[in-house]
Amino acid sequence: MATWTQRMIGAARLDPATYEEVEADRTANGQAMGVVLLSAVASGVGAIGEAGLFGFLKVALAALVAWLVWAFLTWFVGTKLLPAAETRADMGELLRTIGFASSPGILRVLNGVPVLGPIVGLVASFWMLAAMVVAVRQALDYKGTGRAVAVCLLGFLVYIGILVGTAIFFGLGAFMLGSILAR
């Protein structure tokens, strides 16, 4: 069995065997959360110059919530809406594989570096997306990548809808609360 660091490197290398190992290891949920947190901390450090300490904490918390929501959406879309005949997966398998797909996010620690930061951040985002597709393909036992891309795309659209809906809800709530307190 590979170490946590070896698994992170394998996940970043888009190695299907690494994702299969993580998927099968029911004790790796903590490791997966650790990868998500490490990636979130790197993003927070990269943004701390602009967002401060509160922004850093917000980024870390948002990353954990996003991981949980994204894993659920991916599980639902992949097992209920677009399953293949061989698809057998539970939430834990998606949490583990998707968590390790966050490995390239560690590069986001460089986000605050002028000129280089935005480029590295963009590369890390696309790299994480590619890792996500491999993670989904392996966790949902798909034979090809096309269905995994479809699951990620559909899940992403639903995820964006949830984010926009939440922002509107809380935005309107904050506006209404501000109006009440201003009286």
pLDDT tier, 107 (very low <50, low <70, confident <90, very high otherwise): very high
Q: What pLDDT does 174 receive?
A: 56
pLDDT digits (tens, 9 = 90+) for 140-158: 999 999 999 999 999 888 8
For residues 166 and 62, the answer to whether their CB atoms sit within 8 Å is: no
| pLDDT greater than 80 at residue 5 | yes
Give the closest residue to 37 by CA, choosing from 19, 60, 11, 55.
60
Rounded to whole angstroms, how far apart are CA atoms 135 and 95? 10
Q: What pLDDT does 13 receive?
A: 98
Rounded to whole angstroms, how far apart are CA atoms 21 and 4? 11
Can you tell me the mean pLDDT for 121-125? 90
pLDDT digits (tens, 9 = 90+) for 56-77: 777 777 778 888 888 999 999 9
pLDDT top residue among 7 and 118: 7
Give the closest residue to 27 by CA, choosing from 4, 61, 9.
4
Can you tell me the mean pLDDT for 16-38? 96
Mean pLDDT of the chain: 87
Can you tell me the mean pLDDT for 50-57? 73
Domain chopping of the chain, boundaries: 4-182
Rounded to whole angstroms, how far apart are CA atoms 144 and 92? 22
Can you tell me the mean pLDDT for 43-47? 79
For residues 37 and 60, the answer to whether their CB atoms sit within 8 Å is: yes
